[in-house]
Protein backbone atom coordinates (compact mmCIF):
# COMPACT_ATOMS: atom_id res chain seq x y z
CA UNK A 1 0.00 0.00 0.00
CA UNK A 2 1.16 3.57 -0.68
CA UNK A 3 3.00 5.04 2.33
CA UNK A 4 2.38 8.71 3.06
CA UNK A 5 4.84 10.54 5.33
CA UNK A 6 3.14 13.50 6.92
CA UNK A 7 2.49 15.55 10.01
CA UNK A 8 -0.98 16.94 10.87
CA UNK A 9 0.27 20.53 11.17
CA UNK A 10 1.98 20.59 7.77
CA UNK A 11 0.24 22.61 5.06
CA UNK A 12 2.53 21.06 2.43
CA UNK A 13 1.60 17.55 3.53
CA UNK A 14 -2.10 18.43 3.75
CA UNK A 15 -2.22 18.99 -0.02
CA UNK A 16 -1.14 15.44 -0.65
CA UNK A 17 -3.41 14.09 2.07
CA UNK A 18 -6.44 15.87 0.54
CA UNK A 19 -5.57 14.55 -2.94
CA UNK A 20 -5.21 10.97 -1.65
CA UNK A 21 -8.65 11.22 -0.03
CA UNK A 22 -10.30 12.95 -2.99
CA UNK A 23 -8.93 10.28 -5.31
CA UNK A 24 -9.85 7.50 -2.86
CA UNK A 25 -6.38 5.99 -3.05
CA UNK A 26 -5.70 3.52 -0.21
CA UNK A 27 -2.71 4.69 1.83
CA UNK A 28 -0.87 4.19 5.10
CA UNK A 29 -0.30 7.32 7.18
CA UNK A 30 3.20 7.55 8.64
CA UNK A 31 3.61 10.43 11.03
CA UNK A 32 6.98 12.19 11.06
CA UNK A 33 7.33 14.24 14.22
CA UNK A 34 8.87 17.56 13.34
CA UNK A 35 10.90 17.65 16.56
CA UNK A 36 13.93 16.11 14.86
CA UNK A 37 12.53 12.86 13.39
CA UNK A 38 12.77 14.50 9.97
CA UNK A 39 16.58 14.34 10.32
CA UNK A 40 16.75 10.68 11.41
CA UNK A 41 18.65 8.36 9.08
CA UNK A 42 15.48 6.37 8.26
CA UNK A 43 13.62 9.43 7.05
CA UNK A 44 16.66 11.06 5.42
CA UNK A 45 16.91 7.94 3.25
CA UNK A 46 13.45 8.90 1.95
CA UNK A 47 14.03 12.66 1.76
CA UNK A 48 17.59 13.92 2.31
CA UNK A 49 16.12 17.43 2.60
CA UNK A 50 14.41 16.34 5.82
CA UNK A 51 11.02 17.61 4.72
CA UNK A 52 7.52 16.18 4.54
CA UNK A 53 5.47 15.27 2.57
CA UNK A 54 6.97 12.19 0.91
CA UNK A 55 5.40 9.06 -0.47
CA UNK A 56 6.58 5.54 -1.25
CA UNK A 57 4.43 3.81 -3.84
CA UNK A 58 5.41 0.31 -4.97
CA UNK A 59 9.03 1.12 -4.18
CA UNK A 60 8.91 4.49 -5.94
CA UNK A 61 9.88 7.40 -3.72
CA UNK A 62 8.43 10.84 -4.51
CA UNK A 63 9.15 14.02 -2.52
CA UNK A 64 7.96 17.64 -2.94
CA UNK A 65 4.22 18.17 -2.62
CA UNK A 66 3.63 19.43 -6.18
CA UNK A 67 5.62 16.57 -7.68
CA UNK A 68 3.62 14.11 -5.59
CA UNK A 69 0.35 15.67 -6.79
CA UNK A 70 1.46 15.35 -10.43
CA UNK A 71 2.49 11.74 -9.85
CA UNK A 72 -0.83 10.85 -8.20
CA UNK A 73 -2.73 12.47 -11.07
CA UNK A 74 -0.76 10.45 -13.65
CA UNK A 75 -0.84 7.15 -11.76
CA UNK A 76 -4.42 7.38 -10.43
CA UNK A 77 -6.23 9.48 -13.05
CA UNK A 78 -9.78 8.81 -11.83
CA UNK A 79 -11.39 10.86 -10.40
CA UNK A 80 -9.44 13.55 -12.20
CA UNK A 81 -8.24 16.67 -10.40
CA UNK A 82 -6.95 18.25 -13.62
CA UNK A 83 -9.13 19.86 -16.28
CA UNK A 84 -8.48 19.06 -19.95
CA UNK A 85 -9.33 22.42 -21.51
CA UNK A 86 -6.10 24.43 -22.18
CA UNK A 87 -7.23 27.68 -20.51
CA UNK A 88 -8.36 25.74 -17.42
CA UNK A 89 -5.01 23.90 -17.32
CA UNK A 90 -3.26 27.28 -17.48
CA UNK A 91 -5.39 28.56 -14.61
CA UNK A 92 -4.71 25.53 -12.39
CA UNK A 93 -0.94 25.81 -13.01
CA UNK A 94 -1.00 29.56 -12.40
CA UNK A 95 -2.83 29.22 -9.08
CA UNK A 96 -0.61 26.37 -7.89
CA UNK A 97 2.55 28.30 -8.81
CA UNK A 98 1.44 31.61 -7.32
CA UNK A 99 0.47 29.80 -4.12
CA UNK A 100 3.75 27.96 -3.70
CA UNK A 101 6.22 30.45 -5.19
CA UNK A 102 4.68 33.77 -4.12
CA UNK A 103 1.99 33.41 -1.44
CA UNK A 104 3.53 30.75 0.78
CA UNK A 105 6.95 32.48 1.13
CA UNK A 106 5.17 35.79 1.84
CA UNK A 107 3.30 34.16 4.75
CA UNK A 108 6.57 33.22 6.50
CA UNK A 109 7.22 36.67 8.06
CA UNK A 110 3.54 36.77 9.11
CA UNK A 111 3.84 33.34 10.77
CA UNK A 112 7.11 34.34 12.42
CA UNK A 113 5.45 37.39 13.89
CA UNK A 114 2.39 35.34 15.03
CA UNK A 115 4.54 32.89 16.99
CA UNK A 116 6.48 35.71 18.65
CA UNK A 117 9.70 35.63 16.60
CA UNK A 118 11.42 38.85 15.66
CA UNK A 119 10.64 40.23 12.17
CA UNK A 120 11.97 43.48 10.79
CA UNK A 121 8.98 45.85 10.44
CA UNK A 122 9.70 46.68 6.76
CA UNK A 123 9.86 42.96 5.91
CA UNK A 124 6.53 42.38 7.64
CA UNK A 125 4.99 45.27 5.72
CA UNK A 126 6.33 44.02 2.39
CA UNK A 127 4.99 40.53 3.12
CA UNK A 128 1.57 41.92 4.04
CA UNK A 129 1.48 43.93 0.79
CA UNK A 130 2.43 40.86 -1.26
CA UNK A 131 -0.21 38.70 0.43
CA UNK A 132 -2.85 41.42 -0.14
CA UNK A 133 -2.07 41.64 -3.88
CA UNK A 134 -2.39 37.87 -4.28
CA UNK A 135 -5.56 37.58 -2.20
CA UNK A 136 -7.13 40.39 -4.26
CA UNK A 137 -6.27 38.51 -7.49
CA UNK A 138 -7.83 35.36 -6.06
CA UNK A 139 -10.87 37.29 -4.78
CA UNK A 140 -11.59 38.66 -8.26
CA UNK A 141 -11.37 35.20 -9.83
CA UNK A 142 -13.66 33.63 -7.26
CA UNK A 143 -16.20 36.43 -7.67
CA UNK A 144 -16.99 34.94 -11.08
CA UNK A 145 -16.98 31.18 -10.47
CA UNK A 146 -17.22 28.45 -7.84
CA UNK A 147 -13.63 27.20 -8.17
CA UNK A 148 -10.44 28.68 -9.58
CA UNK A 149 -10.73 26.94 -12.94
CA UNK A 150 -14.51 27.18 -13.29
CA UNK A 151 -17.15 24.89 -11.84
CA UNK A 152 -14.83 21.91 -11.43
CA UNK A 153 -12.88 21.09 -8.23
CA UNK A 154 -9.19 20.79 -9.25
CA UNK A 155 -5.63 20.75 -7.94
CA UNK A 156 -5.89 24.55 -7.69
CA UNK A 157 -8.25 23.98 -4.74
CA UNK A 158 -6.03 21.27 -3.30
CA UNK A 159 -3.02 23.64 -3.29
CA UNK A 160 -4.45 27.14 -2.74
CA UNK A 161 -7.57 26.10 -0.86
CA UNK A 162 -5.56 24.45 1.91
CA UNK A 163 -3.37 27.54 2.50
CA UNK A 164 -5.89 30.39 2.15
CA UNK A 165 -7.93 29.53 5.30
CA UNK A 166 -4.90 30.30 7.50
CA UNK A 167 -4.94 33.94 6.31
CA UNK A 168 -7.07 36.89 7.41
CA UNK A 169 -9.96 37.06 4.96
CA UNK A 170 -12.23 39.76 6.38
CA UNK A 171 -11.69 41.97 3.29
CA UNK A 172 -12.25 39.11 0.85
CA UNK A 173 -15.88 37.90 0.98
CA UNK A 174 -15.62 35.62 -2.07
CA UNK A 175 -12.51 33.95 -0.70
CA UNK A 176 -14.20 33.53 2.66
CA UNK A 177 -17.22 31.86 1.04
CA UNK A 178 -14.84 29.68 -1.00
CA UNK A 179 -13.03 28.44 2.12
CA UNK A 180 -16.41 27.72 3.76
CA UNK A 181 -17.45 25.65 0.72
CA UNK A 182 -14.20 23.67 0.83
CA UNK A 183 -14.49 23.15 4.59
CA UNK A 184 -17.64 21.08 3.99
CA UNK A 185 -15.74 18.44 2.02
CA UNK A 186 -14.84 15.19 3.79
CA UNK A 187 -11.23 15.56 2.64
CA UNK A 188 -10.97 18.96 4.38
CA UNK A 189 -12.68 17.76 7.55
CA UNK A 190 -10.49 14.66 7.84
CA UNK A 191 -7.27 16.66 7.44
CA UNK A 192 -8.03 19.75 9.51
CA UNK A 193 -5.38 20.21 12.24
CA UNK A 194 -6.96 20.42 15.70
CA UNK A 195 -6.20 23.61 17.67
CA UNK A 196 -4.63 21.51 20.46
CA UNK A 197 -2.35 19.76 17.92
CA UNK A 198 -1.18 23.14 16.63
CA UNK A 199 -0.71 24.43 20.18
CA UNK A 200 1.37 21.39 21.13
CA UNK A 201 3.52 21.82 18.01
CA UNK A 202 4.27 25.52 18.59
CA UNK A 203 7.86 24.95 19.85
CA UNK A 204 8.60 22.88 16.71
CA UNK A 205 6.94 25.47 14.45
CA UNK A 206 9.07 28.22 16.05
CA UNK A 207 12.22 26.18 15.60
CA UNK A 208 11.42 25.44 11.93
CA UNK A 209 10.59 29.10 11.20
CA UNK A 210 13.85 30.21 12.82
CA UNK A 211 15.78 27.91 10.48
CA UNK A 212 14.13 29.30 7.31
CA UNK A 213 16.39 31.49 5.15
N1 LIG B 1 8.73 22.44 -1.06
C2 LIG B 1 8.36 21.41 -0.12
C3 LIG B 1 8.25 22.04 1.26
C4 LIG B 1 8.08 20.98 2.34
C5 LIG B 1 8.20 21.58 3.74
O6 LIG B 1 8.73 22.70 3.93
N7 LIG B 1 7.72 20.82 4.71
C8 LIG B 1 7.84 21.25 6.08
C9 LIG B 1 6.52 20.99 6.82
S10 LIG B 1 5.21 22.04 6.22
C11 LIG B 1 8.89 20.42 6.78
O12 LIG B 1 8.95 19.22 6.59
N13 LIG B 1 9.72 21.07 7.60
C14 LIG B 1 10.70 20.40 8.40
C15 LIG B 1 11.89 21.26 8.66
O16 LIG B 1 12.02 22.35 8.06
O17 LIG B 1 12.71 20.84 9.47
C18 LIG B 1 7.03 20.76 -0.54
O19 LIG B 1 6.22 21.45 -1.19
O20 LIG B 1 6.83 19.58 -0.28
Q: Which atom of ligand 1 is nearest to the CA of 53?
A: 20
pLDDT tens figures, 45-92: 999 999 999 999 999 999 999 999 999 999 999 999 999 999 999 999
pLDDT on residue 211: 85
H/E element, 45: none
Over 90: is that where the pLDDT of 212 sits? no
Q: Alpha-carbon distance 87 to 117, whole Å?
A: 42
Ligand 1 in reach of 15 Cβ (< 6 A): no
Residue 33: which residues within 8 A CB-CB, separation 6 or more? 7, 204
- Is 195 a member of any domain? no
Domain that holds residue 138: 86-190
The predicted model gives 181-197 an average pLDDT of 97
Which of 4, 52, 54 best tests ligand 1's pocket when mutated (most atoms within 8 Å of CB)? 52
Tell me, yes or no, whether 65 and 120 share the same domain. Answer: no
Q: What b/e sequence results for 38-62 when a residue is b if at least 16 CB atoms lie within 10 Å of its CB, and e otherwise?
A: beeeebeebbeeebbbbbbbeeeeb
H/E element, 206: helix 195-211
Tell me, yes or no, whether 102 and 121 share the same domain. Answer: yes
Q: Which atom of ligand 1 is nearest to the CA of 63?
A: 20
Tell me, yes or no, whether 74 and 93 share the same domain. Answer: no
pLDDT tens figures, 152-186: 999 999 999 999 999 999 999 999 999 999 999 99
Tell me, yes or no, whether 68 and 144 share the same domain. Answer: no
pLDDT on residue 158: 98
pLDDT on residue 172: 98
Tell me, yes or no, whether 90 and 63 share the same domain. Answer: no
pLDDT tens figures, 105-149: 999 999 999 998 999 999 999 999 999 999 999 999 999 899 999
Tell me, yes or no, whether 96 and 63 share the same domain. Answer: no
Tell me, yes or no, whether 129 and 178 share the same domain. Answer: yes
The predicted model gives 11-40 an average pLDDT of 96
Amino acid sequence: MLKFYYNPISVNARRVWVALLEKQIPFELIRVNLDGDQFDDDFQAINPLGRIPAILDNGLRVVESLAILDYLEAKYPTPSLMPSEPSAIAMVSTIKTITVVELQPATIPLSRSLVGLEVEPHKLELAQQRVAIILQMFEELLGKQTYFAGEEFTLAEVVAGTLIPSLRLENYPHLKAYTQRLAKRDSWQQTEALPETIEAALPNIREILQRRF
